[in-house]
A and B are shown apart, each in its own frame.
Chain A
Amino acid sequence: MKIEMYQAPQSTCSQKVRVTLAEKGLPEMNKDWIEHDVDLSKFQQLEPDYLKINPNGVVPTFVHDGTVLIESSAILEYLEEIIPDPRLTPDTAVGRANMRAWMRYIDEVPTVAVRVPTFANMLAPMRFAKASNDEFAAHADRLPLRKQFYQRMSQGGFGKSELEYAEFQIRQTCERIEAAIVAHGGPWIMGAQYTLVDAQVTPLIDRMDDLGYAFLWEDDLPEMSAWLERIRARPSFAAAFYPGARISERYPDFYRTDMDLKAERGY
Chain B
Amino acid sequence: MTLELYHSGHSTCSQKVRICLAEKGIEWVSRELHFATGDHLTPEYLTLNPNGVVPTLVHDGEPVIESSVIVEYLDEIFPEPALVPRDPLRRARLRAWMRYMEEVPTPAVRVPSFNQVFRPLRYENMPEDEFQSRVEKLPLRKAFYRRMGRIDGFPEAEVSNALAQIRQTAERIDQAVSGSGGPWILGADYTLIDVTLTPLIQRMADLGYAKLWEDDFPNMTAWFARIKNRPSFDIAFYPGTNVSEKYPQFFKGGEDQ
Contacts and interface: CB of A to CB of B under 8 A. Distances in A.
Contacts of B59: 94
A28 B21 CA distance: 44
Contacts of A81: 88, 91-92
A93 B168 CA distance: 34
A94 B95 contact: no
A209 interface: no
B95 A104 contact: no
Contact of A97 (B70, B89, B93, B99): B70
A147 interface: yes
A74 B73 contact: no
B174 to A, nearest CB: 13
A145 B103 contact: yes
Interface residues of B, number: 38
A104 B158 contact: no
A82 B59 CA distance: 29
Nearest to B87: A81
A147 B69 contact: no
Interface string A80-111: 01100000000001101110110011011100
B69 A67 contact: no
A148 B64 contact: no
A67 B68 CA distance: 25
A73 B95 CA distance: 8
A67 B89 contact: yes
Interface residues of A, number: 37
Interface in A134-153: 144-145, 147-148, 151
Interface in A62-86: 64, 67, 69-71, 73-75, 77-78, 81-82
B100 A71 contact: yes
A145 B104 CA distance: 8
Given A69-B92, A97-B64, A172-B139, 17 more contacts: A64-B89, A69-B89, A70-B96, A73-B95, A74-B92, A74-B98, A78-B91, A78-B95, A81-B88, A96-B73, A96-B76, A97-B73, A100-B72, A107-B102, A145-B104, A165-B146, A176-B50
Interface of A: 55-56, 64, 67, 69-71, 73-75, 77-78, 81-82, 93-94, 96-98, 100-101, 104-105, 107-109, 144-145, 147-148, 151, 161-162, 165, 168, 172, 176
Interface of B: 50-51, 59, 62, 64-66, 68-70, 72-73, 76-77, 88-89, 91-93, 95-96, 98-100, 102-104, 139-140, 142-143, 146, 157-158, 161, 164, 168, 172
